[in-house]
Amino acid sequence: MSRREVVLLGEQHDDPAHHQWQLQTLAALHVMRPEMVIGFESFPRRAQPILDRWIAGELTARQFLELTEWDKVWNYPPELYLPLLHFARLNRIPIIALNVDRALTEEVRQKGWDAVADLLKEGVSRPAPASDTYLDMLFEVYKQHARDPKGKPAPASRGDRAFRHFVEAQLVWDRAMAEALANRLARNHSSRPLAVGIAGSGHLRGGHGVPRQLRDLGVERVGTLLPVNARRDCAEAKMGLADAIFALADPPREEAPRPRLGVRLEESAGEVRLAEVVAGSLAEKTGLERGDRIVTIAGAPVTRMAAVIAAVRAQPAGTWLPVEVMRNREKREFVIKFPRE
C-alpha cells in the first residue's frame, strides 16, 4: 500500500475509533514513506495558508480552529481530528485543504454545474461522470433528503432535475478533493511524496467517488482503506468495496449526546440561515424551517454561526430559548423548549 501514489483513509466523521485507526495507519505509512503529504476533507481551499502556518508551528490549537472557522465549515468535535493534526505538525508533514466552500456545492445543487459562473468554481474542472453504481448509491441518499420548494419531504424520482443537480454537487465535491491531491503530486516531479487523503467513506466506497476522479486525472495507483464496525455482517463487504477493510470494535464509552437542536447552519455575509432541519428534531417541533434566517437568539443579534452554536450549547436542560427568524420577508418569533434530561 505504501507504494501507491495516493492512499485514501475513510471515516465516519463522528466515530472516535475511525480517527484512532487513521492515526495508527498514518504512522505506519509514514515509517515506510517519510516523504508524505496529508489531505483533509474538513478544510476548504481558502484555509491552505492557515494549514501551512499550523505545520510551521506558528499557531496554538485554539488559534488554528478559530482561523479555519472550524465550527462554521466542519462542526464536528475538533478533539477527533486534533491528534491527526498534531501528528502532521510533529513530523513536519505538509497538510492540504481538499475541500471547497460549501457555498459552491450548494450553488451546484440548486442550479446545476453548467449554470454556475466559472469564477465561482474555485478552479474545479468538470468532473468525470458518475458510474451507474454510484448513481444508485446517490439516489438512495437523495431519497432521504428530497424536499419540495417549501422544504417539506417529497417523493423522489431519478428523472428529477433536482436529483441531477444533487449528483453534480456530489461529483464537484469528489473532484475537488481528487484535484487537490493530484495537483500536489504534480508539484514533485523527481521524488513524489505519498499523498494520503482523509475523507468520509461515502466518497471512497467502491472506487466511485474520489478514486474515480483521481483516475480521470491520470493518477492510477490509488489505494483505499476503510474502517467498518466489527459487528457488521461480512456479507455486506462485497468485492471491490475497498483495497482493504479494517474491522473496529466499539470501545466502551459514554453515549455521545444527540444534537440538541437538529439543524445544519450556514453563514454568509453576516447572515446565519438554517440550511437543513432534521425530521423529528427539536427544531422541527419548534416550527423552524429550512431557509429561515436567524435574526436574534436569546435577545442578542446574530451575525455569526458560532454565536448560535454557543447559545444552544449553553442552554440548560428544561429551559426555554427565544429565537427570532426572518421567513419570506416576515419576522417570526419562536421559543425552543429544551426537554428535561
Distance CA 59, CA 49 (A): 12
Residues 241-256: pLDDT tens digits?
Answer: 999 999 998 777 665 4
Predicted confidence band at 152 (pLDDT cuts at 50, 70, 90)?
Answer: low
Burial of 192 (0-12, 13-18, 19+ CB in 10 A): middle
Cell of 201: 467513506
Lowest mean pLDDT among 74-88, 164-178, 243-257, 313-327: 243-257
Residues 264-299: pLDDT tens digits?
Answer: 888 877 789 999 998 889 999 999 999 999 999 999
Predicted confidence band at 193 (pLDDT cuts at 50, 70, 90)?
Answer: very high
Return the pLDDT at 139. 92
Q: How far is CA 194 from CA 123, 212, 279, 291, in A?
A: 24, 18, 42, 42
Q: Pick 340 or 36 by higher pLDDT.
A: 36
Distance CA 96, CA 99 (A): 9
Predicted confidence band at 189 (pLDDT cuts at 50, 70, 90)?
Answer: low
Return the pLDDT at 187. 84
Q: Is the pLDDT of residue 151 over 50?
A: yes
Residue 116 one-letter amino acid = V
- What is the architecture of the domain spanning 1-256? 3-Layer(aba) Sandwich (3.40)
Q: Pick 146 or 64 by higher pLDDT.
A: 64
Percent of the chain with pLDDT over 90: 70
Return the pLDDT at 255. 57
Return the pLDDT at 143. 84
Arithmetic mean of pLDDT over the chain:
90
Predicted confidence band at 154 (pLDDT cuts at 50, 70, 90)?
Answer: confident
Instruction: Note the CATH number of domain 263-337.
Output: 2.30.42.10
Q: Is the pLDDT of residue 153 over 60?
A: yes
Distance CA 74, CA 81 (A): 11
Return the pLDDT at 307. 85
Burial of 146 (0-12, 13-18, 19+ CB in 10 A): middle
Q: Is the pLDDT of residue 142 over 90?
A: no
- What are the domain boundaries of the chain? 1-256, 263-337
Q: How far is CA 137 from CA 143, 168, 203, in A?
A: 10, 14, 11
